Structure 1
Amino acid sequence: MFRRIKPIEHREEVDFPADLKKLGYFINSQDQIRQISKPSEGFDYHVHKIERINERRREAMDECIRRVLDTRLKEEGLTKHYFPPGSDPTTDPCVPILISDDLDDAEKVLVIIGNTYDDLGVWSVREIEGPGINHGTMISTIRTAKKENFSLVVLNCGQNVYSPEIGRAVTYRSWKAATKPSPHIDEVRNRVPGHENVQKHVESVLGEIKERLVGGGGKKGKKIYFLTYGWGCWGLVKYMNKNFAEWKSNIEALIAVESTHTAADVTSSDLRHFLTTRARAYIVHSDPPGTFIPDKRFICQTFSTAQIYSETIIPNAWEKVMLPWFKRVEEDPEGCNPVILVDWESVEKLNEEWGGHNNSVARPNDAGDPNKWAFEENDLDENFGEREHPFDQNGLEDMVDLRDAEQAAKANKALQENERPGTAGSDGLKEMGVVRGDLTAL
């Protein structure tokens, strides 16, 4: 038995103005938020011994950032659209997304789907602190994408709690700071119909704008590129696993950053083939950006980013690693992902602890282009072809990136007949277009 000795102290909430100057901050010439009294120092969260006060003060700072970001997004030609369609944002539960004003006239579209804990248009609060606001938000991403003639659609997986008191959809962090220390979320009152979670949000938005993207009714479809992060990618994969047939003629490529999807989420053979040939995963890893990492989780080639926080990957790798690969897909869609043969048995022996393999077989061929690869002869196991069981029968497509449906069919037929395809130099792999020469000529 427990008994309360001292009654709970109920403190009055402390309010902070959503005004940078009144909070004691300003934006310097490097686009960084700095203290007025200490111009070399950024935001200081721990200013009070009571955590609740720190929490509410941080929320006031976040609101300042949101207002700055809203202004800059408008300047970039992106407008908020509220879902469900026809909602009045002043009175109705709804979720905002961003759509470029030139979407209907564009030939290429970049669809951005972020994670579940960030405000609309934000990648990383840590990167907003430094290098700066544009870098930590999607402003830099949007500007470089526009230079490559992309129109944009930005989904909103983070602001998934509707607050009648605040009058808009917010992140859980904002909800908690603005309401009470331990808020209860009413699954009816505090959710937006059709956007109760990530999967439903992706389904609702893509279902609504599908005609504007893939065409129909005489409209010409667009080339669609997806840039996804975390649970946002999981929501997309779940949606495409059911609806890929309606989109596959328009989707050019997919980038998945620290995604939570796995092979178990993909049952569509067409989607599996697309992920194998037109998708790339980027993960937290210490190797140089763009280094190939043996990883079977995502059904696509996986690469390092030299980042220790998942939220900093896109701000730091988008322009130098990811965008150049999108351009490569546009130039050579059939050869944008090199065929890479991975000896998973050796990888698993070397990879005793979870999280990576630093002695990667593939490394950048050109320091200026991390999307080009070279394989050294001594990196390949000379005795590979002499092994009795060089392949795992259940994981062939995870080990070899098959270029087209015909090759995939040949591999599947071999597996169904319990025939192992042989070795890197055998007729079996030659028939699938995978030979030692492919590895050294990328």
Structure 2
Amino acid sequence: MFRRIKPIEHREEVDFPADFKKLGYFINSQDQIRQIEKPSEGFEYYVHRVERVNEKRREAMDECIRRVLDARFVEEGLTKHFLPPGSDPASDPCVPILISNDLDDVEKVLVVIGNTYDDLGVWSVREMEGLGVNHGSMISTIQTAKKEKFGFAILNCGQNVYSPEMGRAVTYRSWKAATKPSPHIDEVKNRVPGHENVQKHVNSVLEELKGRLIGKKKKKIYFLTYGWGCWGLVKYMNVNFAEWKSSIEAIIAVESTHTAADVISSDLRHFLTTRGRAYIVHSDPPGTFIPDKRFICQTFSTAQIYSETIIPNAWKDVMLPWFKRVEEDPEGCNPVMLVDWESVERLKEEWGGYSAKPKDTIDPNKWAFDDEEYSDENNDHDREQKLKEGGTVFGEEGLEDMVDLRDAEQAAKANRALQENERPRTVTGDGLKEMGVGKAAPSA
């Protein structure tokens, strides 16, 4: 038996102004969020023993950031569009997305689909305290892509709760901070029709933009997706890929939640294998090939420990260059990527169910992991015959057979590596991010 000695204390709600200065912060000359009293330190969350106070204060900071980003998106030539079409954001449940003003005039479009817990246009608030507000938001993504003459359509998977009191769609974190703890979401009152979840949002936006992207003026479309955003795209493309496939150039999936089982369309499966790439949290240097077939497409490391920091840190030097490569050589943009030597040995043993068997219709220098076993009698006979003739079998080729040599700089480095009797392992820090060339381990 327990008896309450002291009645529950009912605290008054504390509100904070959405003003950097009043909150004790400013944006310095390096575009970083810093404390006024401690200019070397960023945002401090735990300032009060009551969690609700910290939560409300963080929401005020987030609102400050949203206002800064809204102004910067306008400066970059992007405008908010509210869906469903014809909605009045002051009174109607609606979700904002960002579209570049030159969308109808450009030849290339970058469609960005983020995760389900971020504000519109935000990658990582953590990075805003590090390399700056632009770096942690999609502003830096937009600025570098504009140099390659991209137009933009930025979806909004995060702000999926509509607040009549605030008159706008918000993230769940903002919704929770603005209302009482453990707030109830009314699935009718607090949802936007056609945008109730990530899958419906992606479907509604792409259907709305379809006429402008793949209509009479077809464009080259590149998808940059993150987390659940990629899952929503896969679900949509399973049904609609036939309409879009002639226009889509490439897809990047960052820490996606989709798996091979989600990809039902055979055409989409083939497209992801040939012109899709996944980037994941991994300790290896950015661009190192990882033998991971969860996503169907080839998978690469990012040297990041937080999924939210992957795109801010890998976009300019890893992802955007690959998009450019797709444009130059769409049929050969995903060549064989070398793995570390130990992984090759595990592949030969069919570790984890992987097999290095090439399909008959595929160029052996452009391989993909296959679910089939490399053990039938005909294949074993062919393998033995090739070895007797002094040749090599697939999966046991030398470096010269595995490295993509189209670029002169890569070819020179590969030739030098071969002359020095090097063999493949994880990538080194000298720029061989797509070659996996490194010095051989010393023999035992």
- TM superposition score normalised by structure 1: 0.82
Q: Secondary structure at the match of 2:250?
A: strand
Point out 4+ residue stretches in structure 1 off by more than 2 angstroms: 1-8, 378-384, 389-392, 398-405, 418-428, 432-438
Answering whether residue 225 of structure 2 is matched by residue 228 of structure 1, we say yes
Alignment pair present for 1:333 and 2:330? yes
SS of the equivalent of 1:220 reads: coil
Q: Which residue of 225, 236, 241 maps to 2:238?
A: 241
**Shift, 1:38, TM fit:** 1.5
SS in 2 for 1:104: coil
Alignment of 1:36-435 (within 5 A): 36-215=36-215, 219-339=216-336, 360-361=339-340
Give the 3 Å change call, closer, same or farther, for CA 190–2 of structure 1 in structure 2.
farther
Structure 2: distance between partners of 1:295 and 1:383 = 11
Q: Is the 8 A contact 1:194 1:204 kept in 2?
A: yes
Contact 1:289 1:317 in 2 (8 A): yes
Cα distance change of structure 1 residues 382 and 323 upon mapping to structure 2, 3 Å threshold: closer
Q: Is this contact kept in 2: 1:280–1:303, CA < 8 A? A: yes
Letter in 2 for 1:48: H
List runs of 5+ in structure 2 lacking aligned partners.
406-444
Tell me if the contact between 2:336 and 2:404 (Cα under 8 Å) persists in the aligned partners.
no
Alignment partner of 1:336: what SS?
coil
Q: What is the deviation of 1:211?
A: 1.1
Is contact 1:226-1:255 (8 Å) kept?
yes
Higher mean C-alpha deviation, range 253-262 or range 35-44: 35-44
SS at match of 1:322: helix
SS at 2:104 equivalent: helix
Instruction: State how far apart, in whole Å, the 2-side matches of 1:301 and 1:3 are.
Output: 60
- Alpha-carbon separation, structure 2, partners of 1:250 and 1:147: 21
- CA distance, structure 1, for counterparts of residue 153 and residue 382 of structure 2: 43
- CA RMSD of the aligned region, Å? 3.2
1:48 Cα deviation (Å)?
A: 1.0
- Residue aligned with 2:117, SS: coil
Distance 1:390 1:154, change over 3 A: closer
Q: Secondary structure of the equivalent of 2:277?
A: strand
Distance in 1 (alpha carbons) for counterparts of 2:96 and 2:54: 28
1: distance between equivalents of 2:206 and 2:281?
Answer: 28
SS at match of 1:253: strand
Q: Is the Cα–Cα contact under 8 Å of residues 390 and 422 in structure 1 kept in the other structure? A: no
Q: In 1, Cα distance between the equivalents of 2:328 and 2:41?
A: 45
Name the structure 1 match of 2:426.
Answer: none
Deviations along 1:368-393, whole A, 9 cap, x unmatched?
xxxxxxxxxx9855995xx8x8996x
**Aligned counterparts of 1:420 and 1:262: Cα–Cα separation in 2:** 32
Q: One-letter code of the match for 1:23?
A: L
Which moves more between the two structures, 36-45 or 97-106? Answer: 36-45
Residue 96 of structure 1: SS of its match in structure 2? strand
**Unmatched segments (≥5 aa) in structure 1:** 342-359, 363-377
Aligned-residue offset at 1:427: 9.5
Report the CA distance between 1:42 and its aligned residue: 1.3
- The alpha-carbon distance between structure 1 residues 206 and 58, as it changes in their structure 2 partners (threshold 3 A), is same
Do the aligned partners of 1:256 and 1:282 also contact (CA within 8 Å) in 2? yes
Deviations 1:327-371 (A, max 9, x none): 000000010001359xxxxxxxxxxxxxxxxxx338xxxxxxxxx
Select 1:439's aligned residue among 395, 402, 424.
Answer: 402
Question: For 1:85, what is the secondary structure of its paired residue?
Answer: coil
The sequence identity of aligned pairs, in percent, is: 76
Amino acid at match of 1:170: V
* Alpha-carbon shift at residue 11 of structure 1 (Å): 1.0
User: How far apart, CA to CA, are the structure 2 residues paired with 1:7 and 1:379?
Assistant: 62
- 1:25–1:33 CA contact under 8 A, matched in 2: yes
Instruction: Give the aligned length.
Output: 394
Q: Distance in 1 between matches of 2:147 and 2:336?
A: 30
Q: 1:91 to 1:423 in 2, by over 3 A?
A: farther
> How far apart are 1:46 and its partner, in Å?
1.2
1:119–1:191 Cα change, 3 Å: same
